[in-house]
Chain A
Amino acid sequence: MIMAFAGAKPILKSDNPILYRSVENVSIAAGLPKTPDVYIIDDMSLNAFATGTTPNNAKVAISKGLLEKLEKPELEAVMAHEIGHVLNRDIRVMLISVALIGAIQMIGEILLRTGRVSSKDSKGGSPLFLIGLLFISIGVILGTLTKLAISREREFLADAVSANLTSNPESLATALIKISQDARLEILDGKATMTGLCIADPSSKAYNTAQLDSATTEKKPSVWQKLWSTHPPIIDRINRLRQY
């Protein structure tokens, strides 16, 4: 269902043997029970994502643009990153965190409304109203920030899995540099829950790769920007990859 949202179409081995084989190989290296279904997103921007709550119903997707731009080892590294999400059960983690925030919001709203109703009777302010307000404002904000922090940590983790599976972290680093040029997936605009599953933030603007390479600090995202993003800055991910 998520695949249909993203406008991704399933492919067979014969449609694109190179892509299919790299997914196959990474799945073997990861010891997955079966090769995930492979999808291609008909979009020229550069991104990839995975879905599926267990390795058995996992699916991986890659945009047409990225497929054309990557060399074979890089393709394998990107697919290994997505398989990393599958192995770490990140899809489930993300679903749970979204549901938890929803629950906090709902409790807050219930308290808010009951508080409002009872305050009409007693004329004075009801504590329920205030607690509800607290839930919605602080609870949801903190919850969202926590969710984002988890998402960023999960990205690093999936990068590490990819480095382990391919024993070639440099390929993922070069792939990330390429991806950073145009990771924007217009079709995913407004589908915020899905961004955590992509290889790079699909709502981000293109980086300047020259800056990535020279590692200048001036254009680095501020702490505030970092706090509100689903993915760590690509430069940080590359630096970590080069340490492995």
Chain B
Amino acid sequence: MTQSPSARAAPGEATTQGNASATIVEPISVTAIDDLNFGKIAAAAPDGDGSVTIDPASNSASYSGSAKPACSASSCGTSPALFAVSGAKGRAYEITVPQSISVQPMRGAGSALTVSDLLPVSENRPERPYIGQLNTAGMDRVRVGGTLIVPGGTPAGSYRAEVPLVVSYN
């Protein structure tokens, strides 16, 4: 039996370096700063429904139906909810809010009211609701508006609800 020279060659050695890679992203966080405030409202007619809408882009309030502002324009104190968002620099993220929330009376009798059409708008990316964009410092602010439905015959009182907001990288 013969052997070729390569079969008897001294054992060879070889080396290389692979890599393991990962991208660690700073967690995204959100902090509530201001409440969504529909201000003081007068339900003008007992039998007619009305509504108040807060526009998160312009911060303005608009009234329809039986709902009227019970204050001067400067003293109503209407405002969209405001949240501060921080995370990885330059990353886009999704904003999730419920479609509607129930608003409970704080004092006195009365039924719960409904806030519908909750709309979140990012300061850094106002053209696309529900999408935010962290700036080069990893910061953004989100305003949330909505429409408060005021049924006819709603008793006077203060109403309050929590507005949940969830942010996540997309």
A, B assembled together: no
